[in-house]
């Protein structure tokens, strides 16, 4: 859920119960409303070249790609189809392979086609010998029949809206209404791009791979997608790692609201980094002083954005907060984040930032390279498709104004954004089905990884996932900050993850690990 605003923000889950699969509707046995899953089910994948990369990016040369045809509407499986792009790095050793490990990076809307190559760099030989690594772009995302609302100039920072000066949401209401109106032009088709259908696509990938069961590693929003799959297809779920978790009981408005406490938990880590470099940064000698400086700076930039000399980029309070939210997700980005704060403070005060700070700002705000065949607004479109298409939202504008003001007063670091109005309030289509009920029914084969100080999917999200999955899951909490657990400095957590993937070992009780502290 936290990968929705990229660091380069340059403004920016078979509807019938089938004995062989255990498929269900909304987590409950399918009833007379369901339609038989007829139509063609792909049972193999033709592996070949992968789509062209964006300029300046690289791909593991061992990776091959293919496609899987799936129904646009699983209620009409013999009707229109769409394409899901899949990838594979065949790492499993003959005689040692135990299965296929499917990855999803979350977002929603993030492309996952090249995730096998990224994960291959971090996974030990024991895991690589046991699994072929499988990636995919979720339906509507990237190279999987990409969807576009045609949102010219609309970034993710406008979809996740920070209020204006003094907490006004008038501009947010106008933007939300306009974006919803634009997406209504493809709304009749966009409504089929929800989490439940994405999970059903995952089972089509499993069938195309010829696998009886599939293992899975989901991050952020991908944890919810995995939980939906495990609930719709419990008999097809092998080992599953859920890292940085969404609370299934809070989809979606209540989950966004948890960002308030998440910022309160995580921001002090960055503030301590800044305070340790006070002689250079001048933002405050204690975490409290840095926090006060940040809040005052954000308020000034709300009222008067600062323009970087030689560019058209204006650093507003919303941009400052959005960049901060994103960079808090990784510990290695905390020091560059403090330089961004320093440059913004200098610009706001009418001073010329140091050349090194200007370079940091330019890198952070650089446009992400375009991917051939993928619309510029693809991620923004798919964020909205999932958030607005999975569940209904209040249409009472005044309720958002009140909630935003209350949250802004209680949680000044997030400034009321998590409670503010989204285009979902004006969405043209109702969800095509109820929210899937995530349940504890199924084998004990899920590992939940959760950092204590995760601003994007806070601790409460991990505990909520634990409650939803019950004894089906083992829980590992890490005393660590940031959005990612594996490979970020906790040897304890890394060993537990590897032991689970190779041996199926899960903590007997909820367990905890130490983690590095900035």
CB 2 within 8 A of CB 454: yes
Which band of pLDDT confidence, cut at 50, 70 and 90, is reported for residue 317?
very high
Q: Which of 336, 332, 297 is nearest to 318 (CA)?
A: 297
pLDDT of 311 > 90? The answer is: no
Which band of pLDDT confidence, cut at 50, 70 and 90, is reported for residue 34?
very low
Report the distance separating Cα 96 and Cα 130, nearest Å.
6
The pLDDT value given to residue 310: 74
The pLDDT value given to residue 22: 30
Q: Name the average pLDDT for the chain.
A: 91
- DSSP code for 485: -
- CB atoms near residue 56 (< 10 Å): 7
- 356-372 tens-digit pLDDT: 999 999 899 888 888 99
Report the distance separating Cα 518 and Cα 241, nearest Å.
26
Mean pLDDT along residues 327-331: 97
The β-bridge relationship of strands 99-104 and 81-89 is unpaired
The pLDDT value given to residue 517: 57
CB 428 within 8 A of CB 400: no
pLDDT of 5 > 60? The answer is: no
The pLDDT value given to residue 518: 52
Lowest mean pLDDT among 118-127, 156-165, 450-459: 156-165
DSSP three-state, residue 328: coil
The pLDDT value given to residue 160: 86
Sole residue written with tokens 């004006």: 426
- 461-493 tens-digit pLDDT: 999 999 999 999 999 999 999 999 999 999 999
Question: What are the angstrom distances between the C-alpha of 75 and each of 44, 141, 452, 518?
Answer: 23, 21, 40, 50
Report the distance separating Cα 404 and Cα 413, nearest Å.
13
The pLDDT value given to residue 515: 80
What DSSP assignment string belongs to 436-483?
P---S-S-S-EEEEEEEE-SSS-HHHHHHHHHHHGGGEEEEEEEEESS
CB 219 within 8 A of CB 106: yes
The pLDDT value given to residue 153: 73
Which band of pLDDT confidence, cut at 50, 70 and 90, is reported for residue 2?
low
Report the distance separating Cα 318 and Cα 432, nearest Å.
33
- 139-161 tens-digit pLDDT: 999 999 999 999 987 677 777 89
Q: Is 409 exposed, middle or buried (0-12, 13-18, 19+ CB in 10 A)?
A: exposed
pLDDT of 33 > 60? The answer is: no
What 3 state SS string does 5-48 have? CCCCCCCCCCCCCCCCCCCCECCECCCCCCCCCCCCCCCCCCCE
Q: Which of 68, 143, 133, 147 is nearest to 104 (CA)?
A: 133
pLDDT of 11 > 60? The answer is: no
Q: What angle do CA 426, 250, 380 make, to 5 degrees?
A: 45
The pLDDT value given to residue 9: 37
* Cα-to-chain-centroid distance, residue 434: 21
pTM value is: 0.93
The pLDDT value given to residue 39: 67
The pLDDT value given to residue 500: 98
pLDDT of 32 > 70? The answer is: no
């Amino acid at each position: 859920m936290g990968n929705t605003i990229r660091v380069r923000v340059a403004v920016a889950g078979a509807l019938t119960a089938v004995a062989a699969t255990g498929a269900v509707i909304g987590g409950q046995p399918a009833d007379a409303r369901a339609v038989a899953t007829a139509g063609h089910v792909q049972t193999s994948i033709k592996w070949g070249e992968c789509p062209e990369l964006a300029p300046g990016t690289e791909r593991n040369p061992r990776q091959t790609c293919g496609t899987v045809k799936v129904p646009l509407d699983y209620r009409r499986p013999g009707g229109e189809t769409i394409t899901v792009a899949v990838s594979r790095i065949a790492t499993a050793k003959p005689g040692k392979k135990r299965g296929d490990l499917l990855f999803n990076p979350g977002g929603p809307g993030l492309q996952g086609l090249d995730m096998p190559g990224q994960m291959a760099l971090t996974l030990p030989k024991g895991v690589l010998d046991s699994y072929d690594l499988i990636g995919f772009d979720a339906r509507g995302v990237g190279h999987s029949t990409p969807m576009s609302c045609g949102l010219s100039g609309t970034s993710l920072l406008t979809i996740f809206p920070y209020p204006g000066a003094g907490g006004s949401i008038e501009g947010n209401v106008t933007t939300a209404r306009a974006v919803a109106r634009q997406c209504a032009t493809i709304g009749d088709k966009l409504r089929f791009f929800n989490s439940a259908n994405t999970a059903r696509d995952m089972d089509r990938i499993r069938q195309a791979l010829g696998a009886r069961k599939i293992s899975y590693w989901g991050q952020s929003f991908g944890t919810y997608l995995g939980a939906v799959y495990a609930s719709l297809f419990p008999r097809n779920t092998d080992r599953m790692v859920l890292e940085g978790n969404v609370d299934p009981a809070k989809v979606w408005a209540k989950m966004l609201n948890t960002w308030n406490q998440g910022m309160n938990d995580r921001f002090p880590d960055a503030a301590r980094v800044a305070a340790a470099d006070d002689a250079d940064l001048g933002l405050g000698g204690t975490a409290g002083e840095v926090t006060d400086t940040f809040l005052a700076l954000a308020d000034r930039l709300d009222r008067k954005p600062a323009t970087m000399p030689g560019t058209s980029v204006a650093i507003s309070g919303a941009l400052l907060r959005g960049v901060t939210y994103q960079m808090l997700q990784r510990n290695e980005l905390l020091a560059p984040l403090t330089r961004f704060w320093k440059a913004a403070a200098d610009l706001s005060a009418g001073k010329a930032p140091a050349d090194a700070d200007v370079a940091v700002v330019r890198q952070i705000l650089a446009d992400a390279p375009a991917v051939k065949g993928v619309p510029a607004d693809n991620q923004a479109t798919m964020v909205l498709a999932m958030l607005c298409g999975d569940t209904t939202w209040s249409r009472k504008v005044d309720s958002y104004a009140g909630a935003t003001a209350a949250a802004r007063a209680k949680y000044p670091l997030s400034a009321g954004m998590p409670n503010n109005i989204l285009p979902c309030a004006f969405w043209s289509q109702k969800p095509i089905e109820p929210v899937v009920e995530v349940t504890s029914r199924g084998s004990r084969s899920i590992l939940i990884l959760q950092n204590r100080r995760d601003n994007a999917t806070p601790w409460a999200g991990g505990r909520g996932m634990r409650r939803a999955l019950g004894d089906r899951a083992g829980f590992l909490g890490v005393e660590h900050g940031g959005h990612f657990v594996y490979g970020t400095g906790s040897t304890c957590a890394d060993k537990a993850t590897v032991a689970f993937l190779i041996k199926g070992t899960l903590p007997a009780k909820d367990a905890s690990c130490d983690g590095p502290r900035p």
